[in-house]
Amino acid sequence: MKIILINIILIIFMVFLYKYLKKKTNTYFSPLLLFNWIWITVIVNSALISTKKFSMTTNIFVILIFISGNLFFLMFSKRNNNDDLYKQIHKYYSTNKSKMKKMIIFCLLFRIMQIFYDIYVVNRLGASINMLFGNVEWLRFAYLNYSNNIGIVFALITNILNYFAELGLIISAFLCFCEKKYFYLLINIILSFFHAIFTLSKMAFFIDLIFVIGIFFIFSNIIKINRKEKRLIVLVIVFIILSLIVTGTQRGYQNQDSSIEGIDNVIVAKTVSYFVTPCLAFKSLMDQEIDYSYGSKTFSPIYKFIGFSYETFGDIDVGFDDSTVYTLPGMFFADFGYIGCILLLFFYSFVVSKTYNKVFQKFSLFNLCMYLIFNMTLLLSFFTWMGRMTFYWIFPIFVFYVEKMIMIKNGG
């Protein structure tokens, strides 16, 4: 009851914050607003749920990160011109409409091939499609082992399928908000949902939804939200709930007890745990003696390319549960310590704000993609630093060259 009451108060506060920042930045979902929404919610709820005590230094540093992040995002915030954004998007859409529609069909073929490839892998690992809707925790570990030893040819196939499937989702979301027609976007979301089920990866589906939400954030500045958009939002929420239920079943949560006092439903408890344990794991790390990894976590794709890899901390005990991830600033801290964490947060805030403002200043598919990537890292900053995955470094380059070869930038 206490948690529910405090979260209701938080929601009321968030509404006032939303209205204030909307007036200040002239945009609906600025990085500054999203940073506050995420980290206020996570910090408050992790403190309410935690059964573990942390040092005063650790608690102060978490608050310092929150204050610093606000100052940095505020420093790089600017009032954007929504009229210019509308003109640029309308011009880009008018010029490239037919090419984008053909590209969606082309990318859908890759999404369908991705599904068939998923089915092939499931069968190869000794499972069946029917089994995926039950407890298949063993298959999850088999899938992880398969992914780590996939070989160059199958890794290339997987990446190509992922790049085109993701591009198709982004273009279909862009067109759906331009035309108010949602057929291709719904097809992409449904196929993405099944891809997540077949690969036992709810994160892949969540990221696709975050990309769609990111495009909605941009369009919310230039369109009126009608019934269709509201229905789409409801549909996204329904798919998120379905994804959590299926994932919980696949991991055998129905056979477990809730680890959080006051929450009896294990699926709800695991969902809450998913949001708060990374922050608590970050605090646990700060209370330990660790060897800094000097960039191997933050710049993991570069280190992997030159043949270096970083060691993980394994399962980090946070009292009522454990976690293998420890937030975005936690990754920065593990690499460079207290000062390095603040400095990296400064540069990160600059890049996120820059990519957001760039969409308003000079709209293109590439600039939209860059914003979506960094908006995704911001929305998942409570979880981990998503830049540790090579896909998010290469995908914007892929989009850049596709756009250069096929689209006409800025109407000519």
Closest CA to 176 of 115, 126, 238, 218: 218
Give whichever of 229-243, 249-263, 392-406 has the largest mean pLDDT: 392-406
For 322, phi then psi, to 5°, come to -135, 165
pLDDT band at 391 (very low <50, low <70, confident <90, very high): confident
Average pLDDT over residues 365-394: 92
- Average pLDDT of span 200-206: 88
- Mean pLDDT is lowest, of 136-140, 178-182, 227-231, for 227-231
Q: By C-alpha distance, which of 345, 374, 213 is closest to 282?
A: 345
pLDDT tens digits, one per residue of 19-78: 888 888 888 899 999 999 999 999 999 998 888 889 999 999 999 999 999 999 999 988
pLDDT digits (tens, 9 = 90+) for 160-173: 999 999 999 999 99
Q: Name residue 322's beta-bridge partners.
A: 317
Give me the chain's average pLDDT, please.
89
Q: Convert the pLDDT of each residue in 67-101 to its tens digit.
A: 999 999 999 988 888 899 999 999 999 999 999 99
Average pLDDT over residues 367-375: 96
Q: 218-239 burial, b if ≥16 CB within 10 A, otherwise e?
A: bbbbbeeeeeebeebeeebeeb
- Map tokens 């933050």 to a residue: 298
pLDDT digits (tens, 9 = 90+) for 103-115: 999 999 999 999 9
CB burial of 345-358 (b: ≥16 within 10 Å; e: otherwise) equals beebbeebbebbbb
Task: Return the pLDDT at 260.
Answer: 75
Cβ-based burial of 98 (10 A; exposed 0-12, middle 13-18, buried ≥19): exposed
Q: Report DSSP letters for 265-302, one per residue.
A: -HHHHHHHHHHHHHHHHHHHHHTS-----TTTTTTHHH
**Mean pLDDT on 309-330:** 84
Backbone angles phi, psi at 135, to 5 degrees: -75, 105
Question: In the chain, what are the domain boundaries?
Answer: 95-254
**Dist CA 62 CA 283 (whole Å):** 8
Residue 410: pLDDT band with limits 50, 70, 90: low
pLDDT at 1 over 80: no
Q: Over 70: is that where the pLDDT of 412 sits?
A: no
* Of residues 29, 32, 54, 30, the one with CA closest to residue 43: 54
Residues 6+ apart with CB under 8 A from 398: 163, 167
